[in-house]
Every structure is written in C-alpha cells, then in structure tokens.
Amino acid sequence: MITLTYYPGCSLKTSSKFYETSIKNTFSFFGIELTELNDWSCCGASAATTIDEKLAYALTGRNLAIAEDVGYHLFAPCSACYNRSKVTNEKIKKDRVLRDEINETIYPLKCLGTIKVKNIIEVLHDHVGIERVVKKIAYDLSSIKVAPYYGCVLTRITKMDAFDDKENPTSMDSLLWALGTELVSWPYKMECCGASKTLTNKDVTFRLSNIIMEKAQSVGADAIVTPCPLCQMNLDLLPYLGRTDKNLPVLFLSEVFELALFGRIGGMSSHIIGVDGVVKKVKKK
Amino acid sequence: MDDLTFLNQIEEISGEKISTCYQCYKCTAGCPVATEMDIYPHRIIRHIVLGDREKVLKSKTIWTCLMCITCSVRCPNDIDIAHVFDTLRKVAVMEHMEAETDTWRFDKLFLDSVAKHGRLHEIETILKYKLEKKDLFSDTKMGIGMFLKGRMGVFPHNIKDRKQLRKIFKKIDSK
Ligand code: SF4
Ligand code: SF4
C-alpha cells in the first residue's frame, strides 16, 4: 500500500471527470491510495505565466506548500499542471531568491521543495512496475492497435531533467505493451494538439488535432492513447471542430488499464467519439 | 553601434541569453504553427538582437505561439524561446503594441475566475469571453454536446481559503 497526494487540477473535476474515475479504479486495484490535496487551487495553467510569472509561481507554490506539509509525493495527472508543478518545485528547491519570494507571497504557508511531483506514467512505473502489470492482466487486448500519444508538455521540461526522453519518450509505450496491446510506431507522439487555442483560435486547434487523428488512422491504429486531459479533449472534440471523416476513439492511459483489468471502461459514455468498437475487441483471457 | 536597449530589456525580464543565438533555424523547423506566423521564431530572436522593437512587439508571431515548448527543448544554446515569447507578450501589452487581443483577454478572464473562486469556473469564464467578443453562439453546438456528455462544469468551484488567495493576488499586484 502506498499513499500519494492527489492534485486533480481543474479539468479532472469538470471536463475530464471520467479520467479521475478511471485513475481511481486503476490505482485502487494496485493498492495505491490517493488523498486529495486539501483546498487546492488552480495552478494558473499557461494563463498565469503569460500575465505575471510571479503569480504563476505563487499559485503553484501554494499547492506545493500544502502538499509538503502532508509529506506524500504529489501526483498530478494533467500534463499542464504536472509541468507547472514540477518546474516550480525544482526552482523552489534550487533558487533561494525565488524561494524566499514565493514564500513571502504565500505566507503563512511555506514551501522548501522537499516532495516529488509525479505524473501518471511515473506513478505506474515507480509504484506498480511492468512485471506486476503483466501478472495482473485478465483480458486479452492483443487485437487492439494503439497509437501512444504523449502530447507536448509532459516531457518537454526546459532547463532540467525530465522523467523520460524529451523528444522520444517510451515509458507509456512499455506500459501499453505490458497491457498486451499492439503498438503502432508513428512520428506524432509529441506533436501539439493546439491545446490552449481551442477557444481563441479554433482553426489552429482543428488543423493540428486533425493531423494527429489522420496520421494515427493512416498507420492503422484502432485508438489513440494519451495521459493528458487537454489532448484527450481536443482530439475528442474533432467532430465538433469540423472534422467529417471517421474518427478514432481517444482513450486515457488508465482506461486501457481498466480494459485489461476489468474488461470494460467506467466512463465510456463521457467520450464524444464512441469507444464501443474498441471495447468489443476485448476478449477474456 | 547598434541600440542594445531592447535586447537588454528582454534579456533582463526573461532571464534568457538571447544574444547566444547563432541562427541555426532549429526552433522554426520544429514549430507546428510556423506557417501561420508573420515572422519566423528564429527571426524574432534575431530582430531582438538588432533592436527592432516595434517590429517584434507588433508581430502576430508572439500571439500565434502555442507554448508547446518544442523550440525551447531543441535550441542548442538553451534559449527558452517560448519563455521569450511569453515575455514579449507582456511587454507588447505594457507598451500597447499587441497585434492580437483574444489570447490576452481569455488569459485575464481565466485568472479572474481563479482569483474569485480559487479554481477555474469553466462555463462562467467561457460565457464572459464570448460576451466580450460579442459572439455568444458560434460554438453552441459544441457546448451543448459537451454538456450532454457531462463535460462542462456549471457550478463554481470555490475553495475554502479564498481570503488567502486574494491576499496572494494583491501582494503580486502591489509589487
Ligand atoms: S534554435 Fe536557438 S540558436 Fe537556433 S535559431 Fe533558434 S534560438 Fe537561435
Ligand atoms: S513554443 Fe511556440 S514558437 Fe516554440 S515551437 Fe511551440 S508554437 Fe512554435
């Protein structure tokens, strides 16, 4: 049994609520307990850095300080939250001037950068491990071909080490392999979906997400798999953004775990692009 | 001698060593929206070095950038170009030279929501944005579709300690 502090961020409580459910189903199966970060606030996403960097650090610092007080590592499933939290945490640890400045702003809270910030792939690797995944699968996913899609900011962390290769990550590939799926090889693992522009410049989001969908289809995938709620949403919204061609289902990594462990997906009905085709391919082992 | 004020200003605010750029084009080559930019990323960097303040601050490029950080992790000189663009947006707004206002408008409304509730209140923020743009109905179908799938939050997400949060916002404002 291991406990982690869970930082859901805004999307896992609203537009991607079913991602939260699916993470909880998967984690509790492997004995990972999540305690939600008490009174967490928004990390500011990309908006805060654009308006005022200090504010971005303070907003994230507030959450980190609350987490540090509890002492468990912080799990942030949203790639944007993860990136912001990880960068801020490292800076707090290494940059004394900035640390003092942040702590002055969030007083009476205090943060020293003592905990680790982890994303979903890291948690599954560190606290479950490939061997245990292989041992526990109950359903055969070998007829499902998946395109692993990491999205842009999960491993692109500037000026510091990332948990995987910044340009060609493979950690999610190994998890998907352990789950028994067939993997396609494609060059779009990290391409940007146009995340932040969905409202302000829909055409750009459409163009970029459409290319990713098209490419995944052309290499014969049955589904795209991602750990990022923003990527999932932009790709899943493609029918509304104007795409008339056939779409592939866009699954969360934890939903593939659900398929392999329980043979079904809890939040199936929340998907805009239907996932039944993929679920039907699952066979009992 | 060239006028180095602009370069010094941007290097100081961003903390990035812009002058180390040797124009290898790597940033532009990997940028997913380079074709939509009026000035390519590597040229922006060069124009900063040359002191072309207006050209840079009035460019569409800094607003087209998606902050995907591809350029930054690839730059052989470790210049965080996305961060430079972020800095340029701030300076452009400060000096009233912004070429596009939507991104900034949405970011501000986003933060207003965080200041008020502690978290993003999606529906409220989107409606406000659309009202400001006087374009309430263009994405109605998408909105309804998401709502029916349970993917749009209607209620605000208030945190308990909003007082402390307001203090944080105030402290930053008065700096
Ligand atoms: S990648 Fe870096 S060094 Fe190369 S042109 Fe761009 S900013 Fe200059
Ligand atoms: S961060 Fe901006 S400039 Fe850099 S590659 Fe991405 S979109 Fe292009």
B77 lines ligand 1 (CB under 6 A): yes
Interval A230-259: pLDDT, tens: 999 999 999 988 899 999 999 999 999 999
Q: How close is the nearest chain B Cα to the Cα of A249, in Å?
A: 15
Kindly state the average pLDDT of the residues B43-57: 96
Q: Do A15 and B114 touch (CB under 8 A)?
A: no
**Residue B152: strand, helix, or coil:** coil
What is chain A's mean pLDDT, rounded?
Answer: 93
Distance between CA atoms of A102 and A125, rounded to whole angstroms?
Answer: 32
In this predicted structure, the answer to whether residue A198 has a pLDDT above a threshold of 70 is no
pLDDT at A273 over 70: yes
For residue B2, what pLDDT is reported? 64
Instruction: Check CB contact of A37 with chain B, cutoff 8 Å.
Output: no
Q: How confident is the model at residue A268 (pLDDT cuts 50, 70, 90)?
A: very high
In sequence order, what DSSP letters do the residues of A140-199 get, joined into one string?
A: E-TT-EEEE---STTT--TTS--SS-SSS--HHHHHHHHTT-EE---TTTT----GGGTT
Higher pLDDT, B156 or B103: B103
Cα A249 to ligand 1 centroid, rounded to whole Å: 37
CA distances from B157 to A40, A79, B118 (A): 11, 21, 7
Chain B residues inside the 8 Å CB shell of A159 = 78, 80
pTM (two decimals)? 0.93
Mean pLDDT of A190-217: 87
A165-179, A213-227, B116-130: the lowest-pLDDT one:
B116-130
Chain B interface test: which of A37, A39, A42 (most B C-beta within 10 Å): A42
Q: What is the reported pLDDT for B154?
A: 64
pLDDT of A60-82, one tens digit each? Answer: 999 999 999 999 999 999 999 99
Provide the pLDDT for residue A42. Answer: 86
List, for residues B129-158, the tens digit of each pLDDT value: 777 777 766 777 777 788 788 887 666 678
% of chain A with per-residue pLDDT over 70: 98
Closest-CA residue of chain B to A19: B151
A168: Cα separation from own chain's centroid: 17
* Confidence category of residue B122, pLDDT binned at 50, 70, 90: confident
CB atoms B103 and A59 under 8 Å: no
Per-residue pLDDT of B65-98, as tens digits, reads 999 999 999 999 999 999 999 999 999 999 999 8
> Helix (H, G, I), strand (E, B), or coil: what is residue A64?
helix
Report phi then psi at B23, rounded to 5.
55, 55
Which DSSP letter does residue A38 get?
A: T
pLDDT at position B175, please? 63
pLDDT(A176) > 80: yes
Task: Please write the tens of the pLDDT for every residue from A18-65.
Answer: 999 999 999 999 999 999 999 888 887 777 777 788 888 989 999 999
What single-letter DSSP state applies at residue A18?
H
What is the separation, in whole angstroms, between the first and last Cα of chain A? 27
Residue of B nearest to A79 (CA): B68
A134's enclosing H/E stretch is: helix A130-136
The pLDDT, as a whole number, for residue B113 is 82
Is the Cβ–Cβ distance between B71 and B27 less than 8 Å?
Answer: yes
Q: Would you place residue B118 in the very low, low, confident or very high pLDDT band (cuts 50, 70, 90)?
A: confident
Size of interface A-B (CB pairs under 8 A): 157
**pLDDT for position B165:** 84
Which residues are bridge partners to A74 per DSSP? A5, A117
Average pLDDT, chain B: 88
B contacts of A18 (beta carbons < 8 Å): 150
Q: Is the CB of residue A70 less than 8 Å away from at least one CB of chain B?
A: no
Q: Quote the ipTM score.
A: 0.90
Query: A5: number of CA atoms within 13 Å, CB side?
Result: 21
